[in-house]
Amino acid sequence: MPTDDAVERERQGAGTPGTDVTKDGLRGVRPDREAVTGVTTGRPRGGRGRRRRGGETPQVPDATFTSYYAEPVINKPVWEAPDIPGYLFLGGLAGAASLLGAGAQRTGRRRLERSSKVGAVAAGFLSLVGLVHDLGRPQRFLNMLRVFKVTSPMSVGSWLLAGYIPVAGAAAASAVTGRAPRAGAAATVAAATLGPAVASYTAALISDTAVPAWHDGYREMPFVFVGSGATAAGGLGLLTAPVAETGPARALALAGTALELATFERMERRLGMVGEVYSQGRGGAYVRAGTLLSVAGVVGAVLGRRSRVASAVCGAAMLAASAATRWGVFHAGMQSADDPKYTVVPQRQRLEQGEPATGTSTTTRTPAATTAPSEAAEA
Amino acid sequence: MAPVDVTIGRRPDLTGALLGDTDPAAQGGWTDHPPRMGFFTDTSVCIGCKACEVACKEWNAIPEDGLVFTGMSMDNTQGLGADTWRHVAFVEQRKPLAVQDPGVLHEGVDVLALAPQGSGTSPDEAGTTPTTPGDPGDLRWLMASDVCKHCTHAACLDVCPTGSLFRTEFGTVVVQEDICNGCGYCIPACPYGVIDQRKDDGRAWKCTLCYDRLTVGQEPACAKNCPTDSIQFGPLDELRERAGARLASLHDGGVTDARLYGRDPHDGVGGDGAFFLLLDEPEVYGLPPDPVVTTRDLPAMWRRVGAAAATLVGAAVAAFVAGRRI
């Protein structure tokens, strides 16, 4: 009633116009704004995207698992696109292109040799640039070479790139200028030896994390990555070399695409529920684009193998396919890190099947179990 | 505890380097080191006061971590990160375990007489605690102070490419901020979501278990400030024993939901240096139910990488053999 409101305002004074507290209780109470606790109310607002700064989130977002206000269990990688997916793509391209360049040199395909070697060193260098640019403190990049740790694929990779880029550069310089052919040949062999490692170590790098879609895919990921790298290197050869020399590039792209698609399919199937991120959202879109582009590129390259233009277009499609696959893997991993479901459900399933990862559950339920280890230690 | 002389040996013993029960400080190369120190966080006596969060921020001079209202019970801190090294979780459940009404009137209580007892009633003497069995109420409120687990097999440390993360003589895991180049690898490596990057700074930060205080014989700030001794600091052996006894007494008292989390040295991370007594499943508190150090699978990963690299060489050779005909 207006008069009561006026009286109330008078009583409270001009300084507190906004208060709802009266002697008779709260004004304007809406029963439905009262927080409900521990009750399923559906998925959090804003869907599958960021929800860290969300509003009211339900305690239990899904009937099959529990989480803490749908907050992710692990911290999402701070790695960013295009730096890191670009780093993955370019490393694969460089490593496989070094093999193609060495083979082209051996079989006397001069144009293919030159473009593969130049492409290899350029991609290797840009891969390193991507890695350095993504650092929180890029000026401290050289701290990567403070230690060598086999437990850190990034340490192994930094040393690999530090060795690979100079030899790939020497091989390319010799191929382009025609000078120092013996040193160039030695550098070519060195680059072709390190190349396969450069093309594959990034799979261990992303798998060696707690990101479910990356870690759980560690069995197939290296094959997906070398397949994708071979597709890219083949694509580069098709794009840059005349049709008389592109036979091996086409064959390499064909083999790479077959390997990539087969192992990717196997990985998705083996991952089960976690594998769904590779077909959903942004990650899924990139993966699908990669599949389409690589299949189209390979089919087009085989059918149009006598046409320079068709070969070049298909080569570009293969490069794009390889990049799309890496972007897809990158974003799928991010999606799996963002949703506690992918962390909690597989771990919970392991426990419920009585098969914790190391045979021992991290949770001790019975007091008796806690005495055994200390007694063993005393004995 | 007095500062201890320590020396670094040349060849760390690598037995059990990736799995199982081990002495992490010895593996880190410390030949003569103090006992492994850690936290036992008994969430059954946590009152959610957040003194640990505040003490940690103050002592370690951690910047503000976002002034937001989350709607997540009393938790506006949200989770561990670069600027949050202690995080108090608040879980509201319609899963009654104990009534929150102490069931006594306080008119007759002489507060002045109680004062000499100290800042809190010891759990044994308290009329009711969150775990006191009783008639079911409508609501159970769980609180738990989360922190870096200082794993026996720490993935963050394993994957750090600069050696910025290291194992201290106390068996804890600490970031050297003058070396970290912000590569961010430790962040997704942690199975608990502890370490994170400070955006305006670029480097990774996390709990140091107050390494500075430990070296001069002081206990960490959070444990020092915990008014209910929910956070207990000490040699890990002793804490594990104490936790076992606490679990037994809770089970005897009928609180069969009580469980220890991260105490077992044979779990996926070789046991936590900071472990917990929980009253519900770990995931209810935002903890992973079966965490595994990712580097456990690294030998298998490297083997796969080797096989894939060989496959690539084979594919390239085959391409040139086939390429003659195409």
Q: Give Cα A16 to chain centroid, integer Å.
A: 54
Mean pLDDT is lowest, of A53-57, A278-282, A309-313, B36-40, for: A53-57
Check whether residue B143 and residue B279 sit in a common domain. yes
Query: Residue B59: inside a domain, yes or no?
Result: yes
CA distances to A9, A17, A24, B71 from A27, rounded to whole Å, are: 13, 13, 8, 22
- CB–CB contact A77 B187 (8 Å): yes
Name the band, by pLDDT with cuts 50, 70 and 90, for residue B127.
low
Interval A111-146: pLDDT, tens? 999 999 999 999 999 999 999 999 999 999 999 999
- Using an 8 Å Cβ cutoff, are B147 and B41 in contact? yes
Alpha helices in chain A (DSSP H): 2-12, 83-106, 110-134, 153-177, 181-207, 212-215, 221-240, 247-271, 281-303, 308-338, 340-352, 367-378
Optimal mutation site among B67, B146, B153, B162, interface A, most CBs of chain A within 10 A = B162
Query: Residue B210: inside a domain, yes or no?
Result: yes
Query: Residue B10: inside a domain, yes or no?
Result: no
Name the band, by pLDDT with cuts 50, 70 and 90, for residue B5.
very low
pLDDT at A373 over 90: no
Residues of B in contact with A203 (CB under 8 A): 301, 304-305, 308
Check CB contact of B213 with chain A, cutoff 8 Å: no
Instruction: Take residue A231 and report the two structure tokens written for it.
Output: 């597709």
Query: Residue B76: inside a domain, yes or no?
Result: yes
Q: What is the CA radius of gyration of chain B?
A: 23
Domain that holds residue B46: 24-98+120-291
Query: Residue B11: inside a domain, yes or no?
Result: no
At residue A201, the pLDDT reads 98
At residue B119, the pLDDT reads 55
Helix (H, G, I), strand (E, B) or coil at A26: strand
Check CB contact of B87 with chain A, cutoff 8 Å: no
Report the chain B residue with the minimal C-alpha distance to residue A361.
B267
Mean pLDDT is lowest, of A242-246, A298-302, A364-368, for: A364-368
Task: Give CA–CA dist B175/B190, Å, rounded.
Answer: 14
Interval B182-202: pLDDT, tens? 999 999 999 999 999 999 999
Check whether residue B234 and residue B310 sit in a common domain. no
Check whether residue B298 and residue B286 sit in a common domain. no
Check whether residue B311 and residue B260 sit in a common domain. no
CA distance B9 to chain A (A): 17
At residue B115, the pLDDT reads 67
Check CB contact of B315 with chain A, cutoff 8 Å: yes
Check whether residue B44 and residue B185 sit in a common domain. yes
Report the chain B residue with the minimal C-alpha distance to residue A253.
B319
Dihedral sign computed on CA atoms, order A194, A199, A200, A206: positive
Instruction: Domain count for chain B, please give it.
Output: 2
Between B227 and B254, residue with greater pLDDT: B227
Interval A238-254: pLDDT, tens? 999 999 999 999 999 99
- CB–CB contact B309 A199 (8 Å): yes
At residue A4, the pLDDT reads 59
Write down the pTM of the prediction.
0.84
Check whether residue B134 and residue B263 sit in a common domain. yes
- CB–CB contact A38 B158 (8 Å): no
Domain of residue B272, CATH code? 3.30.70.20
Residue extents of the structural domains in chain A: 83-340
Q: What does the pLDDT average to over A197-216? A: 97
Residues of B in contact with A342 (CB under 8 A): none
Report the chain A residue with the minimal C-alpha distance to residue B202.
A136
Query: Residue B310: inside a domain, yes or no?
Result: yes
At residue A44, the pLDDT reads 39
At residue A321, the pLDDT reads 98
pLDDT at A354 over 70: yes
pLDDT at B49 over 60: yes
With 0-12 CB in 10 A as exposed, 13-18 as middle and 19+ as buried, what is A316?
middle
- Reported ipTM: 0.85
Check whether residue B300 and residue B323 sit in a common domain. yes
At residue B140, the pLDDT reads 80
Query: Residue B107: inside a domain, yes or no?
Result: no
Interval B208-251: pLDDT, tens? 999 999 999 999 999 999 999 999 999 999 999 999 999 999 98
pLDDT at A11 over 90: no
Name the band, by pLDDT with cuts 50, 70 and 90, for residue A20.
low
pLDDT at A333 over 50: yes
- Other CB atoms closer than 10 Å to residue B95's CB: what's the count? 16
Averaged confidence pLDDT in chain A: 86
CA distance B306 to chain A (A): 8
Q: Which of residues 166-195 of B touch A (CB under 8 A)?
A: 179-185, 187-195
pLDDT at A268 over 70: yes
Query: Residue B286: inside a domain, yes or no?
Result: yes
Percent of chain B with pLDDT over 90: 72
Q: What does the pLDDT average to over A186-208? A: 98
Report the chain B residue with the minimal C-alpha distance to residue A256.
B315
At residue B20, the pLDDT reads 74
At residue A324, the pLDDT reads 98
At residue B106, the pLDDT reads 67
Averaged confidence pLDDT in chain B: 87
Q: What does the pLDDT average to over A11-15? A: 48
Identify the CATH assignment for A83-340 out of 3.10.290.10, 3.40.1800.10, 1.10.1740.10, 1.20.1630.10: 1.20.1630.10
Task: Give CA–CA dist A303/A306, Å, rounded.
Answer: 8
Percent of chain A with pLDDT over 70: 80
pLDDT at B8 over 60: no
Name the band, by pLDDT with cuts 50, 70 and 90, for residue A359.
confident
